Amino acid sequence: MTRSRGQRKFDPVRLDVFHHLFAAAAEEMGAALMRASFSPNIRERRDFSCALFDEQGRMIGQASHLPVHLGSTPMSVRAAIESVAMEPGDAVILNDPYSGGTHLPDITLVSPVYLSKGGVPDFYCANRAHHADVGGAHPGSMGPTLDVHGEGLRLPPVRLVRGGEIQRDVLALVLANMRVPEEREGDLLAQWSTNKIGARRLVEMAQEHGADEVHRRGAELMDWTERLTGELFASMPNGSWSFEDELETGVAGEPAYIRLRLEKGGRKLVCDFSATDRVPASPLNTTLAVTVSAVFYVVRALLPPGTPTNDGILRCLEVRTRAGTLVDASYPSGVAAGNVETSQRIVDTLLGALAQALPERIPAASSGTMSNLTFGGEGSRGPFVSYETIAGGAGAGPRRAGTSAVQTHMTNTRNTPIEELESVYPVRVLSLGVRRDSGGKGRRPGGDGMRKELLFTGPTHVAFVSERSRQGPWGLAGGGAGAPGRVRLRLPGARSAKPLPATFTRVLPAGSVLTLFTPGGGAHGRS
């Protein structure tokens, strides 16, 4: 365990005060980003995350935002620190999946925080937001492509802001690659303003409590979380457990497998994904940052309520991968779906292995897909692009049934309001509701998925990326699987709807009706 700067006697009450001070600052950052952003995906669905970091780029506090963002953002912060010598007033932009990023639509902005003049930054603020489009072959930058170059603009760590001044040449380069540049500019400026708020709160903490105290408490919080994580692992039986789960849309339609071996000894847990399949020509590859984020999320979910969420969780963990596999993408592998689909399957695989060690605590598989819908084109008011994930059923646990129509695991976004969709885009929502009886059957049934029916009133380029369409999410302890997802399309003039693949992209004529059915969750226990 690392020692805190100027370590003093452990004071749990004061430490908990700083836990909430850091978390509150990150929550305030998120509230500001939500209010200031232009796109419905950020403003309404809240597809963003905010966190605070110490001088080494270790996360010391976060808001209750998206698990897939929060566990992976530290790698982006460290990439920014290593690549750019940041000075007061700077802000570094990046989305490079091979340098701490997730997938290209997730753009991260990192800002240094100085508590005194000169020297090196004392802290960093960062926020990550999913932009509805970052270029590429398909509107929304989420369609199936063979490599990262078809997915959009790739940004290594570069200054978007220098000394408080926007770098107009960098901004122009970024916006020239976007389908709706005005919306992207508004969202990026909102991200910059968001970091200013986090920086202001850290400065105020230092003015009230002293800079050394703020540093000390940040380090102590990480030590506290490390201790709780070690105690969690110590309470588990020693042993080794294996599990594998499949992604349906591998190469040539063949499934691709994520394989995990868990090894637990004492106060340490090793998660070995080295036997996972290679699928280079696919958007399902995910970055090492996302794999670590999924492990981070599952372990955090097992920790006691109120545990500070920070870098301390990672100190008792070892994540092993093999470069070039689904869980550790190598350039130029596509990663668009890895962030949203493979991340969910990594969680399922972890839960499947942990269910053997902790059967009294682990739930059945949830929907296992974010059911990603993007569409775009030219409307009466100019170009438009929309992105949203659609909720599914949660897996049932040993003590309770699964929740219906909810975002699960690595996503924590909201539904796009119907009024927003219909007022901004050429689309009508014909129906939206719970997909009854889609949860797995058992003593504790899985949650039901959703049914969403859309009528496109103008020609629209639509892409859908999903999983769990052949085999539904698995149950546990004899519980049944949830219903698989499915997609139906009725073209203008057609009498009936036809099935579509779980992942597709095509241009639909005006009057087309697309119906999406998301998977239900697995059940727990026999009926």
Q: Rounded to whole angstroms, what are the CA distances from 72 to 8, 101, 369, 377? A: 31, 7, 19, 32
Residue 146 has pLDDT above 90, yes or no: no
Distance of alpha carbon 308 from alpha carbon 16, whole angstroms: 8
What is the average per-residue pLDDT within 59-73? 83
Task: Count the neighbouring beta carbons within 10 Å of the beta carbon of residue 448.
Answer: 29
> For position 20, what pLDDT does the model report?
94
Residue 325 has pLDDT above 70, yes or no: yes
Within 304-453, residue ranges assigned H as helices are 343-357, 418-424
Residue 8 has pLDDT above 60, yes or no: no
> For position 214, what pLDDT does the model report?
96
Interval 350-368: pLDDT, tens: 999 999 999 999 999 999 9
Interval 213-242: pLDDT, tens: 999 999 999 999 999 999 999 999 999 999
Q: Rounded to whole angstroms, what are the CA distances from 521 to 316, 353, 448, 454, 472? A: 30, 18, 6, 24, 8
Distance of alpha carbon 251 from alpha carbon 375, whole angstroms: 25
Interval 419-450: pLDDT, tens: 999 999 999 999 999 999 999 999 999 999 99
What is the average per-residue pLDDT within 460-481? 97
> For position 250, what pLDDT does the model report?
61
Identify the three-state secondary structure at position 83.
helix
